[in-house]
Amino acid sequence: MSAPGEAREPGEPLLELRGLTRHFRLKEGLTGQRTAIALDGIDLKLRRGAAYGLVGESGSGKTTVARLILRLLQPTSGQILFAGQDITGLKGEALMKLRERIQIVFQDPHASLNPRKTILFSVAEPLVVHRRLKGPALRHRVEELLEIVGLPGGFLFRYPHELSGGQKQRACIARAVALNPELLVLDEPTSALDVSVQAQVLEFLHDLKARLDLTYLFISHDLSVVRYLCDRVAVMYMGKVVEEGTVDAVFESPSHPYTESLLSAVPLPQARQPAGRIVLSGDVPSATAIPPGCPFHPRCPRKIGPVCETAVPRLEPRLRDRAVACHLYGSET
Amino acid sequence: MAGPAPLLELRDYSLSIDSFDGRLQVLDGVSFSIAPGEVVGIVGETGCGKSITVKSVIGLVPSPPAKVESGTVSFDGRDITAAGESAIRRLRGREVAMIFQDPMTYLNPLFTVGQQLSDVIRAKEALDPAAAPRTRAERRAKALALLGQVHLPDPERQFESYPHQLSGGMRQRVLIAMALAGSPRLLIADEPTTALDVTIQAQILDLVKELVETLGMAVIIISHDLGVVAALCRRILVMYAGTIVEDAGTADLFENPRHPYTRGLLAAIPRLDGSVTSLSGIPGSIPNFIEPPQGCRFHPRCAQAGARCGRERPRNLEVAPDHWTACHLFDGGVE
Ligand SMILES: Nc1ncnc2c1ncn2[C@@H]1O[C@H](COP(=O)(O)OP(=O)(O)O)[C@@H](O)[C@H]1O
Ligand SMILES: Nc1ncnc2c1ncn2[C@@H]1O[C@H](COP(=O)(O)OP(=O)(O)O)[C@@H](O)[C@H]1O
Ligand code: SF4
Ligand SMILES: [Mg+2]
Ligand SMILES: [Mg+2]
């Protein structure tokens, strides 16, 4: 399969997803069964040093991507390559080693910090488990990490409930970068925070990436946040990537009708709203009943005809800076 | 303030709530008014007192533990500050309706949409002795008309559905239909789209806009999202720690924000068009309400605060036509 963006992105990608698919079996009643297609054959490449955004509405499969990359979940089919190595089937010691190189930060910092343990304990834990650090060396490294995330020494012996939401998220980030990972997956890391606090965390994440040489996979339903922090973006709809490209290209001139409507639906914090807003009708379909053909066709304002209802559009390169999965562009690639 | 006689008016309204840790001075001298048919937004960080303000006005905060420390609330010229339970209930049932972030909390999972909507319609009839009671068929017709008015797809079928069979957006439509059952003059929407995806949020915002135009009711939209209030409201109130710090027309607020808190919020928002390349947050967090800061409640977080700010409570001043703010910077300086 030709991965989009290949020709334009020299060098080996840090992370590559090939045809990644995940189904969930759902029990229905006593004997019945349905299949939820959470992820349906996505291909992505993250260059080292990228801040890669993954956007889409709830249920589009973003968290499933994160869990698959972290190997918290097995794919139904497809491959995950990390630094050129197929990590899809890694087990045991090799998987432990991989976990040092890929870390995750979740939306809810409460759930990620043990309420009965100090911040020192939570941040130290990965260092103890993976590096067998202890004593003054351990304490020193934790202090250094808290310094990096902007939580001074006074926080060492505090408990999560004594920290604000933003401070807790910083502690989670300190824990995630403790082992010097190469890839940081951030799943809606600022969605639970007020904008005033989110701004601080975003600024900090921006600096942290350069300082620690990180690559980000930044998952968010908030398009403005992705515009601010990321350089490339993939837009997901119902388990598929419908558009992929540089953030500037995708946000300034979206090609896919879904991207276009999604961007147009965001109400803007400014004196006047732009004219000609697209309001999509209907709801997002269920993952157990994905429409045939283009999954977006029942809601698409630019549907071109029966081809949209029957043929699945493939993600194909378009223009110089993006790839799109839509029959509108079928003949002009 | 000029304009028609207000529908809802709060004057110097202060509210405390007794809690386990002590008495919370939750609202401090809140004043604003809403004209008939006006659409007003209330914004501010989580915990600023947005919900408490509107809930206490319509009697949804039990007293005790809540206590009105000062000020008045009037609705359509009547002072309702000390109105009894039943008077408030009547007001809430007929003239004011409220919808919330999470419709599931206000829908009974065991009854169909149709049953619940019909119940609401019957309850509204009971509050209006002048109206002749409807038959069951009439109530059903009324319920279907309401579901149509909120553009619930396939209302005949959804009438028989249970809440869990509906999507989040559809449930919010049902809640709006219930709110409309009593033909309210004021609709209060507390974070009505916060739990919804952006494309569904756009649908609900469109619906609210349409209802305002066709029914002419006044609306208060509470949101932490400045985009949501910008899209719907003509006027915006900015709330900080139980005080209204700025009150201005929407265009004026975005183009000419005055209060340092408002400016701080605006500087914190990443922009969809990429026009902002560096964000600044607001240091610190909302104060505790047991011993809130003296003077201006925002002063511990304010980059422009001076000695006077910790001492003296700023007055609410009209800094431009219909643009009010409470900050010493606009009233003789901070020193
Ligand atoms: N453990 C699971 N069991 C069943 N269905 C699941 C599970 N995890 C995710 N799904 C389904 O997969 C789809 C994608 O979910 P998710 O990846 O969480 O989306 P997002 O993070 O974009 O909101 C949804 O329809 C969701 O209900
Ligand atoms: N029932 C209650 N009892 C005690 N304190 C409350 C109650 N409801 C709200 N508060 C407090 O009042 C303050 C304002 O809350 P709220 O109005 O819900 O804020 P917002 O809606 O702006 O997020 C908060 O500090 C909250 O803890
Ligand atoms: S393939 Fe057809 S239905 Fe799908 S987005 Fe493109 S035009 Fe719309
Ligand atoms: Mg998710
Ligand atoms: Mg609230």
Tell me how far the alpha carbon of residue A51 lies from the centroid of ligand 3, in angstroms: 28
Give the type of residue at A179. L
Q: Which residues of A touch B167 (CB under 8 A)?
A: 283-284
Q: How far apart are CA A135 and CA A150, in angstroms?
A: 23
Beta-sheet strands, E only, within A204-293:
215-220, 232-237, 240-246
Q: How far apart are CA A167 and CA A156, in angstroms?
A: 12
pLDDT in tens, A218-237: 999 999 999 999 999 999 99
Q: Which residues of A touch B (CB under 8 A)?
A: 57-58, 164, 166, 194-200, 202-203, 221-225, 227-229, 247-248, 251, 261-263, 265-273, 277, 279-284
pLDDT in tens, B30-51: 999 999 999 999 999 999 999 9
Provide the number of CB pairs (under 8 Å) joining chain A to chain B.
129
Report yes or no: A217 and A183 within 8 Å, Cβ to Cβ: yes
* Lining residues, ligand 1, CB within 6 Å: A 24, 26, 36, 38, 56, 58-64, 287
Report yes or no: A15 and A53 within 8 Å, Cβ to Cβ: no
Q: Please identify which residue in the block is written with the tokens 């955004």.
A: A53
Nearest ligand by distance to the CA of B101: 5
Sites in chain B below the pLDDT cut of 50: 1
Q: Is A36 helix (H, G, I), strand (E, B) or coil?
A: strand
pLDDT in tens, A48-61: 999 999 999 999 99
Q: Which residues of A touch B274 (CB under 8 A)?
A: 227-228, 247-248, 251
For residue B120, the distance in angstroms to the closest alpha carbon of chain A comes to: 26
Interface probe, candidates A197, A259, A270, A272, chain B, greatest B C-beta count within 10 A: A270
In eight-state DSSP terms, residue A253 is S
ipTM of the complex: 0.90
pLDDT in tens, B246-289: 999 999 999 999 999 999 999 999 999 999 888 988 888 889 89
Tell me how far the alpha carbon of residue A223 lies from the centroid of ligand 4, in angstroms: 14
Has residue A313 got a pLDDT over 70?
A: yes
Name residue A317's beta-bridge partners: A323
Q: How far apart are CA B264 and CA A38, in angstroms?
A: 39
Nearest-atom index, ligand 3, CA of A295 = 4
Q: Which residues of B touch A277 (CB under 8 A)?
A: 202
